[in-house]
Structure 1
Amino acid sequence: MPAPPFPDPRTLPAAAGIVSVGVPLTVETLYGAYAQGIFPWPSPGRPVEWYCPDPRGVLDFSEFHVPKRLQRKLRGGAWRFTADLRFEEVVRSCAGVHRRRQNWKTWLTDEMAESYIRFHQAGYAHSLECWEGERLVGGLYGVYVCGVFSGESMFHREPDASKLCLVELVSRLRARGLTWIDIQMVTAVTERFGGKYIPRKEFLDRLDRLDRSQLPVELDLARDPT
């Protein structure tokens, strides 16, 4: 991949989050951005803004907590999970959730959805789907670049289905040698599971310290890692 058109986020003033404005959403710019800890956050009718916020949300697997109610639900056996089977449907469903909640003003614009679909086709964006019988009832998607999984969005059509996807995602990532997820911003849901904020410098230091020789070059969430 060519060098991305972004400045080093370490050079940003304290508390500043915007790294760049107007860089187009392409496979190359998305890859370069995530490799530097940067992600896009567009708004309809405005140039794309690219962020590396301070502080930054992360979910450490060593602190990951599954509520007992969800543990019982998982043991109930009514669910099955797939990976990268319905990526486009997951992204479109996530966009629909955001639009209903935000009166059609959403960061997950049509342009954004299309860009992540192309990123998925290039092998860098992935989805996890939750099924009840033959019905897709929840899902999430994110990006895997340079040994880091960055969670983007999730949706549910049945109570707790997206949360069950998160539990399954952590299990599959842990089995592949990952120890944390970049969640960008902490929500009420991710905080319940152990999500927290850390300083931007600490986040960027994590990227620098990663031993990528021990992590998958390409992420396959469907295949048994053993």
Structure 2
Amino acid sequence: MSELRPELLLQAYAIGVFPMAEGRNDNRTFFVDPENRGVLPLDGFHISRSLRKETKRRRFEIRCDTDFRGVLEGCAESRAERPDTWINEEIFKLYMSLHEMGYGHSVECWQDGRLVGGLYGVALGAAFFGESMFSRRPNASKVALVHLVARLKASGFTLLDSQFITDHLVQFGAIEIPRQDYRDKLAEALRIPAEFYSAPDDWPFVEALLQSSSQTS
């Protein structure tokens, strides 16, 4: 087990690197600094017509920071399409510490009193580092992402880091940018004071996002 501490993890984020492990049962944690970085442009966030309708149905109760541990556990659990994850024991503890320090945040989808999906990440300055998401009901993580983006825009954030590009994220407008471009954007975001909006009611922000966002079929 390494001697990684939450304070060091925050310093790592501030210079553009993030931790990973080879697998949930691998106790070796290492830092990653991709040559090309995935980001989700907040002003170019795409919402498909189907997701727009799903979000407007408001089938899920959206909460923030009420069950950060539960979201971490959901992101770390094995599923048929993802038998292993990079969230090992040390990483789990580190992000719990960041949450307790006020840097780690979760957007949660609840249904019938149960946590059915969500995501978590780290807020530093006006940068949000998205870490992982999960769903136990169809579209739960997608709806959580819509609410995250709405909250970030309302809070004055300028950078949503997705680390890598996946087909899942491309549908929302995620792009890759060179490492130096990312570092420039990060440095600018860190100079901006922003406070993550974690109050319960974010629907006015979501409605504004649905009206302004680009649509995809």
Which residue is 2:72 aligned to? 91
Identify if the C-alpha distance between structure 1 residues 89 and 82 changes in structure 2 by more than 3 Å, giving closer, same or farther: same
Count the aligned residue pairs.
201
Which residue is 1:61 aligned to? 42
Identify if the C-alpha distance between structure 1 residues 75 and 119 changes in structure 2 by more than 3 Å, giving closer, same or farther: same
Larger RCO, structures 1/2 (Cα 8 Å, 6+ apart)? 2
Q: Which runs of 5+ in 2 are unaligned?
A: 206-217
Q: Is the 8 A contact 2:14 2:190 kept in 1?
A: no
Which residue is 1:112 aligned to? 91
Is the aligned partner of 1:221 residue 2:202?
no
Give the aligned residue type for 1:197: E
Q: Is the 8 A contact 1:24 1:48 kept in 2?
A: no
Identify if the C-alpha distance between structure 1 residues 29 and 101 changes in structure 2 by more than 3 Å, giving closer, same or farther: farther
Which residue is 1:51 aligned to? 32
Is the aligned partner of 1:165 residue 2:116?
no
Which residue is 1:81 aligned to? 62
Which residue is 1:156 aligned to? 135
Is the aligned partner of 1:177 residue 2:163?
no
**Secondary structure, in 3 states, of the residue corresponding to 2:39?**
strand
Which residue is 2:175 aligned to? 196
Residue by residue over 1:38-60, the C-alpha shift from the partner in whole angstroms, topping out at 9 and shown as x without a partner, is 10012244632101111000000
Q: Is the 8 A contact 1:35 1:146 kept in 2?
A: no
Q: Is the 8 A contact 1:84 1:222 kept in 2?
A: no
Give the aligned residue type for 2:171: R
Which residue is 1:4 aligned to? none
Alpha-carbon shift at residue 222 of structure 1 (Å): 2.1
Which residue is 2:123 aligned to? 144
Q: Work out the CA distance in 1 between the residues paired with 2:51 and 2:188.
A: 33
Give the aligned residue type for 2:188: R
Question: What value does the CA root-mean-square deviation take over the aligned residues?
Answer: 2.1
2:13 equivalent among 30, 34, 37 = 34
Is the aligned partner of 1:72 residue 2:49?
no
Q: Is the 8 A contact 2:46 2:172 kept in 1?
A: yes
Identify if the C-alpha distance between structure 1 residues 102 and 135 changes in structure 2 by more than 3 Å, giving closer, same or farther: closer
Q: Is the 8 A contact 1:129 1:165 kept in 2?
A: yes
Give the aligned residue type for 1:27: P
Give the aligned residue type for 1:84: D
Q: Which runs of 5+ in 1 are unaligned?
A: 1-21
Which residue is 2:215 aligned to? none
Q: Is the 8 A contact 1:129 1:139 kept in 2?
A: yes
Give the aligned residue type for 1:184: Q
**Secondary structure, in 3 states, of the residue corresponding to 1:37?**
coil
**Secondary structure, in 3 states, of the residue corresponding to 2:152?**
helix
Which residue is 1:8 aligned to? none
Q: Percent identity?
A: 39
Give the aligned residue type for 1:30: L
Q: Work out the CA distance in 2 between the residues paired with 1:94 and 1:211.
A: 27
